[in-house]
Structure 1
Amino acid sequence: MTRYAIVDLEATDTSSSENHERKIIQIGIVIMEDDKVLETFSSEVNPHQPLTENIIRLTGLRDRQLKKAPEFAKLIPKIKKLLKDCVFVAHNVIFDWGLLSKNFEEFEEYLEMPRVDTVELARIFFPTFEKYGLEFLKQKLGLKNDHLHSALSDASETAELLLKIQNEIQKLPKSVLLEIKKHAQCLTYETNLIIDKFVARAEVRQENFEFYKYFGILKQKKELLETKISKEFSENVKALGMRKRRVQDKIAEIVNANLMEKEAVFIEAQTGSGKTIAYVIPILAKGRRLVISTATKVLQDQLLHDLGPKMKESFGIQTTKLMASSNYISLDQFDLYLSDIMASTNTEIFKMKVLVWLTQTQTGELSEISKNLTNPDMFERISNFGNDNSNIDFWKIANERAKNADVLVLNHAYMIELLKKKSKLFYGRHLVIDEAQRLLTVLEASNQEHLEILDELLPLQLINSDENRIALEDFLFQLGKFPFSRKKIFMDAAELGLNRICDFLMNPDNIYWTTGNTLNSSQPDFNNFKKLIPEDQKVIFVSASIAFSNDKVLLPELLGFSVYKFFKLQAKIAKNQRIYAISDGPSVKNTSVQDYSNYVFKNLIKLAELNRPIVVLFSSRQMLNWTARQFEKSEIKVGVQQHGSQANNELLKNQFDTGKFQVLLATGAFWEGVDFEKQKNVILVIPRLPFATPEDVLTRKFSEKFKNPFYDFNLPMAAMQLRQAMGRVNRKMSQRSCVVILDRRIMGNSYAKRLRRNLEELTTIETGAFEVLLPQIKDFLR
């Protein structure tokens, strides 16, 4: 029988990294033997120093309380007796053990006992959790205790957490536990003892698992479902337990009336109108299968985890997702990764986490694994790049599932890739492209090629000669021009012997440009989307923004459709969202980026005083960086989007959702693909109208396509982007949001009037000086 002492301490200063500067102010201990609580102990401690405001807020303790509490020296005999012959357990054991032992040493008393960290164990045995703080685990696992919030309450919750961790360990096959044991030596102190304890008694466990080497893989569920769906749209909506909306009826009518027509159908319907159900159900009711392509993870999750299960239960409909192979684990690559030695603690925890996750996953999708204390390289090392030779290939399993599914969900990029490969997954299926406005940028991205310049220049930099140095400097100078001369760069590259750069610049018709140290190339024409789809493929495009005005339907033409049907459902004016257009800002044209950033910063400071979360969407990385620098001197907590992967964006979004900072400064993907549905009230700030710059590749491509590229392309695209941004912060009726446009160009005549008219289809626009509108913003968010 193992006896555990689960300990939690409250201290005078949680911000200090030095335990000797801290004093214990409260201690809670739970003594547990296997799964039974034998004894509890709790006491406040007099630290003989005043508490900071932060500690008072965190603990609820007061100086006057602690003055009456016993000194730590008087508690030592009791604590020593409780801890005798126990394993010391804490949630973040380095803190609690370090603080307790330091306080003991001050009185020449010493603690020696095994120590276990439940944070590290939770990271391993709950591999899909976003976070591992005790408060999050309490909510996620339903940890309960009979004590008010205190050190004892946290100790009790940690004790229950330890039992749940042990329960998870006992579910694992012996081969998996033995492999975990090999990597557990890296864990803090003696945390591996918990794992060792269960290895000896572990069962082989064959019934629920398939095995590849020592990996235990959860057996795939195979289900045969009978499809039963009514031909009546209203009956099907009722069967799903939902209320039918008028706009859904209209969309369903449009879909039904055009299913057998050859022309592509474009439907514009407001975000939050329930359009997904309105196109999915009518197609399924006709006995047809469909592919749905989306741009954002939010809609994919809605289809797979909300609507999908309901359709399965009500109608016997199977919904699945398919992604590129690199999104799935390769067991071969993971096997190689496990054999790496001299890895960091976080890397070894990641390996153990994946071993546990493999016993739980049905999909093998790497996105299921927690990103907590990981980096993109860890995931890349175990990704499937189409060369997995194991007997369990999750990507092949996903493809088989996709072939048989009634509803197949793809993202835009992978849909384009499959269409280019003439995949049979589209045969006999209707294709619905939701969030269709995002297709343009995804098409363009698929059309581009990139070359890292520094990689090509590295050999030249090793040649030490004046002639070489001068030629290299001239080459880099020419590359820095906009637009640069392809012919001149080509000749300079040839002279320097940069053969790969010459090959890259070979096509004189392509558009070339640089971003940082990357040379980019794009074909002069779009990949015509119409030409990508099979001739007999029925395709429906759905979006919240397709047309700039009643007489300007832009998207179909840009995608290559000259013959199509367009339906615009009248948007309902949002009462829970309002636009505030600032009239007294500086001229964008005549103000430097630095000065304009100062203007943005000063107004953000004033908005932050309203104590509401603020999302700031920049159209310029340079302005974002200048504004972020200003906040370095401020006490306001700010999150700044960095150049990086989608995983970094998700982490930033999660931190904002949980209130780690009040202001989020972002650009790029946050305009179109990140929804802020968790905030009750939110302020969206647009520093500058999102007009494309002359160097933007899409602008360059369309400069010759339209008579007036600004009015016919740039202005509609800016309106589309603004509408998308507004939709990001208006996800439900109970949410209230203010959209603050700091760019005074919105107040002008001519194009600005057309832009305002477009946005007024969605909500009311209030105009005026910032100081006049600030109280109105405050009142609206009450």
Structure 2
Amino acid sequence: MKGMKSKKIAVVDIETTGNSYKRGDRMIQIAVVLIENMKITETYSSFVNPKQPIPAFITELTGISDSDIEHAPDFIKIAPRIHEMLYGAVFVAHNVQFDLPFLNGELTAAGYAEFLNDTWDTVELSRALMPEAASFKLGDLTDNLSLAHDRPHQADSDALATAELLISLHKKVLSMPLITVEQLAEQAAFLKSDLDLFFKQCINEKKENITDLPDELEVFRGIAVKRKLFTKTPERNTEFDIEPFIRQLVPGYQKRKAQLDMITDILDAFNGGQHAVIEAGTGVGKTLGFLIPAIIQVNKGKKIMMSTQTLQQQDQLMLTAEKINQHLGYSFSTTVLKGRANYIHMLKFEQSLKERDRQYDTVLAKMQLLTWLTETETGDIDELNLSGGSLLYWNRIRHSGWYLDKQQDPWAERDFYSYSLMKAEQADIVITNHSMLAADKFKNTPSFPAYDFLLIDEAHHLEDTCRNQWGTKLDYMNIKFAITRLTGAQEDGLAEKLEQILNKHAINSSRFTPDHFEQLNLETDTSFNQLGQYFKLHVIRQRGLQKQKLLLEETGKEDWKYVTYSFERLLSELKKCLKILVTQLDDIGKKKSSLSANDKASVEEAGALIQEWEQLIEIIRMLFIRRQHQQITWIEGDLRSVPGSLTIVANELVLGEKIQEAFFNDDIPAAAVSATLAVNGSFDHFLKSSGLEEKKVILKAYESPFDYQNHVRLMVPSDLPDIKSVSPEEYVEWITGHLAVIAEATQGRMLVLFTSHEMLRNTYELIKESQQMEDFVLIAQGISAGSRTKLSKNFRKFDKAVLFGTSSFWEGLDIPGEDLSCLVMVRLPFSPPDEPLIKAQWERARAEKRNPFQEVSLPKAVLRFRQGFGRLIRHENDRGIFMVFDKRLISASYGKAFTDSIPKMTVEEKSLDECIFDIEQWL
């Protein structure tokens, strides 16, 4: 087979009135770029008259309007030219599954045969060759590679960008190790487009010009990987003056007294062996105020542990720390430490490559991992952009420790997780997340290295994270997945693999029978069906809500006994199977010297499953056999899909003492920092939840330096109904009308925060159905595809966009400048009173003669309100409208608790018309 030089390649992009040719959508623009010898030789583009109006959304997306296509040719007139360019070519598009059906529809309508040659999809190719890309949209990929792409979503610009992307990816393949390209070609045979031919032609080109492997790569056991580097201990930098250092570090630096005071406070706490609790408002410069005390202590030879809430924030802290380190001439070492399950287990991966798996997501994941292993130094899954379906495959090959001796693993010296622990031992600053920090605290053998000081960022999340981490959870899907890993489908389960090892080595051991698996599945289904019946019978259904939670306040009811009995039977079956599994692995382990690498990989996979099953057994015991009195337990699920959606959860109600013991003890000084810790100027809520005494802690609150009085207008529409006086459906109708009018006044650029996903979805669907906002791009969490980061990025991309969010969108979302001009809070963020945790906390407060509303619900709501408000003004020159659709902010006695918790500004209560007039004048 010849290389690329012999290939004619036609890169095609089209714009259309919609996404389905069969449903009547038509082409409005087409572009073709010809490539020969991997160079662009010819380009062609034309508008096409679709004989139908162009929807407003398409015009907003593409910039193509009805006037552009009014005098454009019908497709039939340009069909001969298109057919000539495509003849004998490989068809390339960024999402072939979209462009080719449209093109073939138009070709056949014009009297030409369908295009049936080979196709290469640059989405698939990019996924395989750029596994760390945050997004595989064409515009994001061209940005990533610094390729020219001046008019995204116009066919001529997109086709040219796709052609440049293909050429760039071809160059990348030619620079990769030959063995990796051969493995990619083997896997690509199972993709949707014909990329196996692309890789085979690249192999031929590489064989014509064989080069040595770069020094930073090695091939071990048939897989090309990046060599691991161990950095020398850096030389300590001398003491530096804090303010001049920050001035040098931050372009356009303006002195922030609060930031300098915050640094001093943390240093005072550390030097005095105390704890500090610090609230730093937006604009104080929290990140530097947090990092610089750590670096000063490192210069004194101390070791720092830092923790933040999310993996994304963890990586962001690492980037900032590296930037500071660069300015200091690399005088300290920093590393990120994550849980074992974040890392790849290379022996399991090696074994999986030998299995011919045709499942699409698995094939794509294998290709991504092969590429990534030539680039990664960490082996951390968070570097990868895996699809949801690929995560099932990742669960098979992720790290779970060693069942056999570590020395039995040929990859042990190159193990990524061991490498991360080694780096953590050597590093001056270790950055982790609250979940891992909490999980490690009460392990029998902790993974964390010893440290001198602890810095906790985003500290308002600490209690909830600890509650989740130290709690217990069992869900139907998880247990079924664990069973499937053992029993397998189409003889690919671990039981079958272990059976083969036992037979191959003539090992006499316990054996599984079909009865074991049948009984195990039966008892699982029976127990969760029984739990589902109990849930449906006792849950108090709320109109319009399908996802429900049921607090198990008492378990003496007769029907709960049936649930317990069924889980006891499940427990018995799990223990039987676990005993067989452990016996088999013990017997196989006696022959470990004669086991092949494939055998060892299967044993390690089975060892991971044993750990999982032991946990499942312990969880079932804790939930059904020996429930803890200090815990609250509840069932949650979707009434439309019982038992599949069922989860049973047990969490501790009061954690202060345990958190204090773990993070605020007398041995290690700790500083807890956040933008939102105080309620009405008081830290009582945080101190109580963390087991801290005010007199033993340095407490400071630094207000934001921003001019909110002149940069924010806080409005409450007076013509909205009281939220409790109308049904949820009527309330959604009211707010939908208001949102449409406000969006017109602000020209989009609006974030709408909901307290429930049900209301978000109902509002979104009513707006879509009524077409009240058809000129706007509507982006909704849980409805529009993508992560929070992806949705906010899409929001910034369009001029007239509205973003609907709930839960995680109340904080951590950073949309500065004019991209966000209006924040709408649909209602005050009180947790539902029947939320199991809130309900249990209320009952405890009542029992202790305390006011549950004032001590439980109000502080949580005020903190959430502050977090939501914080989305609006991110930089000192930002301006915006803060609209609250909840008259309780003004009318309720507790409304002042909310308004006093944010910077001082006038609350304007006026009719919607007056609000709109003011918005238009002010913005």
TM-score by length of 1: 0.87
Q: RMSD value over aligned CA atoms?
A: 3.9
**Aligned positions of 1:764-775 closer than 5 A:** 764-775=906-917
Change (3 A) 1:9 1:759: closer
Return the match for 2:328 from 314, 336, 341.
314
Residue 504 of structure 1 corresponds to 623
Q: State how many pairs are aligned.
A: 773
Partners of 2:723 and 2:296 lie apart in 1 by: 53
Shift of 1:246: 1.8
Shift of 1:111: 5.9
One-letter amino acid of the structure 2 residue matched with residue 393 of structure 1 = D
Residue 751 of structure 2 corresponds to 615
Residue 295 of structure 2 corresponds to 284
Shift of 1:195: 0.8
String of CA shifts for 1:101-149, please: whole Å, max 9, x gaps: 5655544567675433333222221222233333333332222389999
Could you list the runs of 5+ residues in structure 1 that have no partner in the other structure? none
Shift of 1:759: 2.1
Shift of 1:542: 1.0
Change (3 A) 1:315 1:252: farther
Shift of 1:166: 1.0
1:728 aligns with 2:871: yes
One-letter amino acid of the structure 2 residue matched with residue 757 of structure 1 = D
Q: Aligned residues: percent identity?
A: 23
2:870 counterpart SS class = helix
Residue 296 of structure 1 corresponds to 310
Residue 587 of structure 1 corresponds to 722
Partners of 2:818 and 2:99 lie apart in 1 by: 34
Q: Please identify, of 143-152 and 519-528, the stretch whose mean Cα deviation from structure 2 is larger.
A: 143-152
String of CA shifts for 1:7-48, please: whole Å, max 9, x gaps: 335466453334997468544333x332444x3243547758
Residue 137 of structure 1 corresponds to 141
Residue 487 of structure 1 corresponds to 556
**Aligned positions of 1:122-161 closer than 5 A:** 122-144=126-148, 151-161=155-165
Shift of 1:280: 2.0
Q: Please identify, of 98-107 and 154-163, the stretch whose mean Cα deviation from structure 2 is larger.
A: 98-107
Change (3 A) 1:17 1:459: same
Residue 228 of structure 1 corresponds to 237
Is the CA contact 2:13–2:32 (under 8 Å) kept in the aligned structure 1? Answer: yes
Shift of 1:585: 3.2
Return the match for 1:477 from 509, 525, 537.
537
Change (3 A) 1:687 1:150: closer
One-letter amino acid of the structure 2 residue matched with residue 305 of structure 1 = L
**Aligned positions of 1:439-458 closer than 5 A:** 439-452=462-475
Return the match for 1:748 from 883, 888, 891.
891
Shift of 1:169: 0.2
Partners of 1:692 and 1:152 lie apart in 2 by: 51
Shift of 1:672: 3.5
Residue 433 of structure 1 corresponds to 456
Residue 529 of structure 1 corresponds to 659
String of CA shifts for 1:63-99, please: whole Å, max 9, x gaps: 78775869856773x6666556644433334555555
Residue 902 of structure 2 corresponds to 759
**Aligned positions of 1:255-404 closer than 5 A:** 255-286=266-297, 287=300, 288-297=302-311, 299-316=313-330, 317-371=332-386, 376-387=391-402, 389=409, 390-391=411-412, 392-404=414-426
Partners of 1:108 and 1:749 lie apart in 2 by: 71
Shift of 1:255: 2.2
Residue 37 of structure 2 corresponds to 34
Residue 520 of structure 1 corresponds to 649
Shift of 1:566: 0.7
One-letter amino acid of the structure 1 residue matched with residue 701 of structure 2 = K
Residue 197 of structure 1 corresponds to 201
2:700 counterpart SS class = strand
One-letter amino acid of the structure 2 residue matched with residue 42 of structure 1 = Y
String of CA shifts for 1:482-505, please: whole Å, max 9, x gaps: 564222268623785442678524
Change (3 A) 1:735 1:219: farther
Shift of 1:538: 0.9
One-letter amino acid of the structure 2 residue matched with residue 237 of structure 1 = I
Change (3 A) 1:629 1:98: closer
Q: Please identify, of 350-359 and 194-203, the stretch whose mean Cα deviation from structure 2 is larger.
A: 194-203
TM-score by length of 2: 0.75
Partners of 1:683 and 1:64 lie apart in 2 by: 33
Partners of 1:678 and 1:344 lie apart in 2 by: 44
Shift of 1:677: 4.5
One-letter amino acid of the structure 1 residue matched with residue 899 of structure 2 = R
Is the CA contact 1:11–1:24 (under 8 Å) kept in the aligned structure 2? Answer: yes
Q: Please identify, of 126-135 and 370-379, the stretch whose mean Cα deviation from structure 2 is larger.
A: 370-379
Residue 496 of structure 2 corresponds to none
Partners of 2:526 and 2:159 lie apart in 1 by: 64
Partners of 1:557 and 1:589 lie apart in 2 by: 32
One-letter amino acid of the structure 2 residue matched with residue 510 of structure 1 = Q
Shift of 1:435: 1.2
String of CA shifts for 1:276-325, please: whole Å, max 9, x gaps: 21232233224233221111345323322234233234242322211111
Change (3 A) 1:355 1:619: same
Is the CA contact 1:320–1:402 (under 8 Å) kept in the aligned structure 2? Answer: yes
Residue 615 of structure 2 corresponds to none
Change (3 A) 1:147 1:544: closer
Return the match for 2:184 from 180, 194, 210.
180
1:89 aligns with 2:114: no
Change (3 A) 1:347 1:588: same
One-letter amino acid of the structure 2 residue matched with residue 689 of structure 1 = L
Partners of 1:5 and 1:714 lie apart in 2 by: 63
One-letter amino acid of the structure 1 residue matched with residue 366 of structure 2 = K
Partners of 1:571 and 1:46 lie apart in 2 by: 54
Is the CA contact 1:513–1:520 (under 8 Å) kept in the aligned structure 2? Answer: yes
Residue 412 of structure 1 corresponds to 434
1:549 counterpart SS class = coil
Shift of 1:541: 1.1
1:728 counterpart SS class = coil
One-letter amino acid of the structure 1 residue matched with residue 537 of structure 2 = F
Partners of 1:632 and 1:156 lie apart in 2 by: 34
1:740 counterpart SS class = strand
Change (3 A) 1:659 1:53: closer
Change (3 A) 1:7 1:462: closer
Partners of 2:525 and 2:441 lie apart in 1 by: 45
1:52 aligns with 2:121: no
Shift of 1:168: 0.8
Partners of 1:377 and 1:423 lie apart in 2 by: 28
Q: Please identify, of 269-278 and 6-15, the stretch whose mean Cα deviation from structure 2 is larger.
A: 6-15
Change (3 A) 1:111 1:770: closer
One-letter amino acid of the structure 1 residue matched with residue 871 of structure 2 = R
Change (3 A) 1:17 1:362: farther
Change (3 A) 1:401 1:707: same
1:538 aligns with 2:669: yes
Change (3 A) 1:271 1:299: farther
